[in-house]
Amino acid sequence: MDATAQPAIQLAGVSKRYPTGTIAVHELDLTFDAGQTLVLLGPSGCGKSTILRMINRLVEPSAGRILLAGEDVASMDPVALRRRIGYVIQHVGLFPHRTVGENVGTVPRLLGWPRSRVRARTAELLELVQLDPARYAQRYPHQLSGGQRQRVGVARALAADPAVLLMDEPFSAVDPITRDRLQTEFRRLQAEVRKTVVFVTHDIEEAIRLGDQIAVLSDGGVLEQRGSPGELLGQPASEFVADFVGADRGLKRLAITPISDRDLEHPPIVRPTDPLPAARAALARDGARWAVVLDPNGELRGWLSVEHAADGHGTVAGRVRRMTAWVPLDATLKQAFAAMLQHDAGWVAVLDGAHFLGVLTPESLHAAMRRSVESAEPETAGAV
Ligand SMILES: Nc1ncnc2c1ncn2[C@@H]1O[C@H](COP(=O)(O)OP(=O)(O)OP(=O)(O)O)[C@@H](O)[C@H]1O
Ligand SMILES: [Mg+2]
């Protein structure tokens, strides 16, 4: 079989009924692609943690099979299996009486790595999660902030370089600002390490931000829908999913819709060295209220309004105003909108590196938002 086509993890008809009678997971079929982040999203008690624990055999399924790189986990030694899988436990779960360094080095030590290699790996991982080893390796978990503890948890899970990482609400116990930072860090880290990540959350915003794919579960571990964030927001498969992703999914889509070339407007362009009469003529020709001022190499210098260009015979350079509202081309519509609000600007410039590409105004932004929502709506729901 072609190894690249094989899912990293496959659940086939997996159910879990606890001895108390609770059905936590019901006949679940789910595949996890290598190097991707799949988010398990659903309300409290819908079986998310149970699914993770079945993958690393802390819990045994009542029915069905779980394959790891094509191999049935039921036939593997559970301890050896767990050492191949990184696990970030809900509510962190660091060992309180071990230092940060000892926590991170747990699995490599268990694997019998030489001490020098464990130490080097620990330092490398602490740096990866942006904790200076010289400052933090000797501390104990209670001497860290909540966000720092979460990062140690992630470093520990990555220690033996597992192909699979199970993360159970790893960022739920921290304040919103720290959480935002940890999410940004996770994206950076995942772009670098490219693990197969199973990420559990009940926070839709977090799921959209971090998931390549999202699987929405309802009570009793029933799979409601699996798809990309865009598919989920645009075409919720059931009432349950629509409710769960929320009524403001149009707004949420903004956060994942990139700016497109065709959204951009192209106002008149003037050079700093242009004489003012020429600039006035350019504005008048387009009936524009303002022009963009570019250096000869295409870099954004600022802008010039009709009012500032009025009368006088100097050059544009003396009248140009600085432009603070700009976003890179790979920004989302939400970021463009935020920049416009933050700088109280009538438009935002879109740049590729330092190179000016065009602008978004409230009108073009609105058109882009409509396009983004409609492109994801099913035909019948398209009419507003
Ligand atoms: N060891 C257990 N024995 C009996 N029932 C259990 C056990 N562990 C979990 N359950 C039940 O199974 C269901 C699923 O639990 P699970 O922990 O997987 O949910 P979850 O989706 O992770 O929830 P949360 O978002 O609150 O962490 C719940 O009803 C829970 O009470
Ligand atoms: Mg849980």
Domain boundaries, the chain: 3-254, 261-370
Query: Distance (Å, rounded) from C-alpha 321 to C-alpha 73?
Result: 64
Tell which atom from ligand 1 comes closest to the C-alpha of 40.
21
> Is the CB of residue 46 below 6 angstroms from any atom belonging to ligand 1?
yes
Contacts for 56 with CB less than 8 Å, ≥ 6 apart: 73, 78, 81, 82, 85, 87, 166
Which of 11, 40, 50, when mutated, tests ligand 1's pocket best, judged by the most ligand atoms within 8 Å of its CB?
Answer: 50
Region of residue 130 (phi > 0: left; psi between -120 and 50: alpha; otherwise: beta) = left
> 96 exposed, middle or buried (CB, 10 Å; 0-12, 13-18, 19+)?
exposed
Contacts for 360 with CB less than 8 Å, ≥ 6 apart: 259, 263, 264, 265, 336, 340, 347, 348, 350, 368
Query: Distance (Å, rounded) from C-alpha 159 to C-alpha 118?
Result: 9
Contact status, residue 179 vs residue 126, Cβ threshold 8 Å: no
CA nearest 121: which of 149, 157, 85, 151? 157
CA nearest 302: which of 345, 362, 364? 345
Q: Which residue has the tokens 């209670």?
A: 142
- The pairing of strands 164-168 and 23-32 is unpaired
Residues in the chain: 384
Ligand 1 centroid to Cα of residue 196, in Å, is 23
CATH architecture of 261-370: Roll (3.10)
pLDDT tens, N- to C-terminus, the chain (384 residues): 444 568 899 999 999 999 999 999 999 999 999 999 999 999 888 999 999 999 999 999 999 999 999 999 999 999 999 888 988 886 667 888 999 999 999 888 988 899 999 999 999 989 888 899 999 999 999 998 878 888 898 888 888 888 899 999 988 777 777 778 788 888 888 888 899 999 999 888 889 889 999 999 999 999 999 998 888 887 889 988 888 887 677 777 788 888 988 889 999 999 999 999 999 999 998 888 899 999 998 899 999 998 888 888 899 999 999 888 899 988 888 888 888 888 777 789 999 988 999 999 878 887 787 777 666 554 443 333
Which of 15, 25, 46, when mutated, tests ligand 1's pocket best, judged by the most ligand atoms within 8 Å of its CB?
Answer: 46
Report the chain's C-alpha Rg in angstroms. 26
Single pTM value for the model? 0.70
Contact status, residue 100 vs residue 141, Cβ threshold 8 Å: yes
Which fold would CATH assign to domain 3-254? Rossmann fold (3.40.50)
β partners of residue 293: 270, 302
Q: What would the two tokens of residue 298 be?
A: 């295409």
Query: Distance (Å, rounded) from C-alpha 74 to C-alpha 8?
Result: 16
Query: Distance (Å, rounded) from C-alpha 60 to C-alpha 124?
Result: 34
> Is the CB of residue 20 below 6 angstroms from any atom belonging to ligand 1?
yes
278 — phi, psi (to 5°)?
A: -65, -40
Contact status, residue 125 vs residue 162, Cβ threshold 8 Å: no
- The pairing of strands 348-352 and 269-270 is unpaired
Contact status, residue 220 vs residue 23, Cβ threshold 8 Å: yes
